[in-house]
Amino acid sequence: MAIRLDGKAVSAHFKEQIAQEVADFVSQGKRAPHLAAILVGEDGGSKTYIEAKDRACQEVGFNSTILRFPATITQEELLLEVEKINNDSQIDGLIVQLPLPKHIDENVITQTIIPEKDVDGFHDINMGKLAKGDHSGYVSATPLGITMLLKYYNIDTTGKHAVVIGRSNIVGRPMSILLSESSSTGNATVTLCHSRTQNLKEICLTADIIVAAIGKPYFLTGDMIKPGAIVIDVGTTRLDDTTRERGWKLAGDVDFKEAEKNASMITPVPGGVGPMTITGLLNNTLKAYKRSK
C-alpha cells in the first residue's frame, strides 16, 4: 500500500516556519506582509479557495485583503483596481482569482499585475525567469508547493523519469521546468504529455514520478502506473454527490483506490497538493515582502 504524502501536515510545517519569520519582523517594529486578492463573481470554488487563502494568511500573521466585485464589472474597471494595488506600497502581493467572466481577458489582467507583486507567478517576466532557471522571480504556487512537498519527504528526483500530464501555464509547463532544472528537486528527465499525446499509457508505465494535472477526474488509472512509482495528483474537480450535505465532492485526476495499489507514494485529494498550493503562495508573498524591505 502506498505511503500517503500528507500535504496538510507538510503545509502546517512550512506555515509554522513562515509564522516565526513574520513574528520576528513584527517584533522589530516592522509591518506584517500583506496579500491582496481580487474575487470577481460568485463562483463557489473560487470563493472557497479565496477564503482558504485568507485563513492561511491569518494563521501565519499576514495582513489579508479580499476585494469582491460583481461578475458585471468591466475589464477597464478591473484594471483600475489592479493598478491601485500595484501602486500601494503597503501591499506586497496580489492575486486575481481565476477564472474570470468571459467578457474579461484573463491574460490582460494577469499581465497588468506588476511582476514584483505577481505572487501567483503568472506574469510573462516571472514565467520567463523560471524558463531560464532564474529564481529571482516567482514560481507558480502549485508547482512550487509540489517541490516543497518533494523536499519535505526527501524524494530523490535526480535521474528519474518524470511524466507530467497537462501543459497549462499554471501547473504543467512550470512543473516540467522545475523537475528538469539543476536543483535538489530537479535533475529529472521529463516527458510533458497532454490530451493529444499518443501511447500515453505506455509512456506513463515508464515513469518513476507522475504529476497528473490534466483536469479530468480519475483520468490516471491504476494500470497506467508502474509498481513503485510516485504519483502527484493536482486535480480538484467538483462532482455532484447527493450523499454529502454540501452536495458535492472533490475528485482528483487519479483513480486513487487503484493507483495506491501500484504507487509507492501518492497524494490524496483533498489534503495533498491543495494545501501546498496555498503554502507556495504564502512563500511567494513572504519573498515579495522581504524584497520590499
Give dist(CA 57, CA 282) in Å, integer: 7
DSSP 115: G
**Type and span of the H or E element at 251:** strand 248-251
User: 146 near 179, Cβ under 8 Å?
Assistant: no
Residue at grid coordinates 481565476? 98
Helices (H), 153-192: 172-180
User: 36 near 67, Cβ under 8 Å?
Assistant: yes
Residue at grid coordinates 458585471? 72
First to last CA, the chain: 48
Give dist(CA 128, CA 135) in Å, integer: 10
Nearest in space to 219 (alpha carbons), one of 177, 247, 258, 276: 258
Residues belonging to the active site: 53, 97, 120
User: 269 near 235, Cβ under 8 Å?
Assistant: yes
